[in-house]
Structure 1
């Protein structure tokens, strides 16, 4: 079963990206939802499928990625082009257009997970500048055959057990 690591908004800190990769060595897909403020060839981003955030001025990151992984189609965007600080409607339309069942985004620095229809929307929060909470968060997903087990991690203190959730997908 596959494991996905999802991060966002480290805003120039390569140290936290190296740290997360050391903590999550079993992840077979690494996703960065933008605002790394690093160049695409920075060693801290090695192995990450990364998109361009509104603060990514260096290098040529894609605006979005559509990834097929372990039976799921994953849409990755930063979120600033989809008004994610207001609602997820525009992003939900885009997810439907590309046939995504998982959507990963950042921008707001606010941890959030929501199932809308049969699509799972994940904002892993921020590794450096969280809003709405003190924890510097990231997310891992474990594929559990027709469902995923979502784990929220505080970079400094480890997994936040109370936030663990299982999400099932219609087949």
Structure 2
């Protein structure tokens, strides 16, 4: 199963649309905030995909939750924008929140800096920001062999 992870599209729904087109095998799309309207503008073009979202600090007036949990194929994913956990300055709060929830995967955005790592039994993915010429997004592949997280940079060939 492939899960696409986006954050901080900040009005660039065209890049979101193109990224979704380039990943037809993905079943689930998670947007980590600062792009609620972008998701709304493309989601109906992809009716077979499940869309999950949280609000970011720039999603003014949003009623989306600040964080959510999702379980698929026995894997618990904790996802949030990250501003509530002060991720630009530290990772202690967000790591503690993921540990408290017994998550296997932690997803967050807000920093606009892509990150894909594994730490103390936790897969951590920040897809960066899709907006701009150096935009990026992430994906999670859940297979019988395990979990793989990765970053895709705009204009990079897609697997």
Indicate the TM-score class for this superposition, using the shorter chain for normalisation: 0.7 to 0.9
- TM-score, normalised on structure 1? 0.82
Whole-angstrom CA distance in 2 between matches of 1:121 and 1:149: 10
Label 1:85 to 1:45 Cα distance change in 2 as closer, same or farther (>3 A).
farther
- What's 1:123 paired with? 126
1:63–1:77 CA contact under 8 A, matched in 2: yes
Q: Say which SS state the counterpart of residue 11 (structure 2) adopts.
A: coil
Secondary structure in 2 matching 1:122: strand
1:57 matched to 2:56? The reply is no
Number of the residue aligned with 1:91: 94
Please give the alpha-carbon distance, in whole angstroms, between the structure 1 residues aligned to 2:36 and 2:77.
23
Q: Distance in 1 between matches of 2:96 and 2:149?
A: 23
Structure 1 residues 5 and 154: alpha-carbon distance in aligned structure 2, compared to 1, 3 A threshold: same
Q: In structure 2, do the counterparts of structure 1 residues 55 and 75 end up closer, same or farther at CA, with 3 Å as the change threshold?
A: same
1:137 CA displacement: 0.7
Deviation at 1:145, TM superposition (A): 2.1
Cα gap change, 1:79 to 1:45, in 2 (>3 Å)? farther
- The number of aligned residues is 154
Q: TM-score, normalised by structure 2?
A: 0.87
Question: Which structure 1 residue ranges, 5 or more long, are not aligned?
Answer: 162-171
Select the structure with the greater relative contact order (CA < 8 A; seq sep ≥ 6): 2
Match of 1:38, SS state, is helix
1:70 equivalent in alignment to 2:69: no
Q: CA RMSD in A?
A: 1.9
Q: Note the 1:19-168 alignment, pairs <5 A.
A: 19-38=18-37, 42-46=40-44, 47-129=50-132, 135-159=134-158
Q: Deviations over 1:62-121 (max 9, x none)?
A: 111100012210001000011111221101111111111101100000001222201111
CA distance in 2, matches of 1:120, 1:92: 11
Give the whole-Å Cα distance in 2 for the aligned partners of 1:85 and 1:158.
29
The answer for unaligned runs of 5 or more in structure 2 is: 45-49
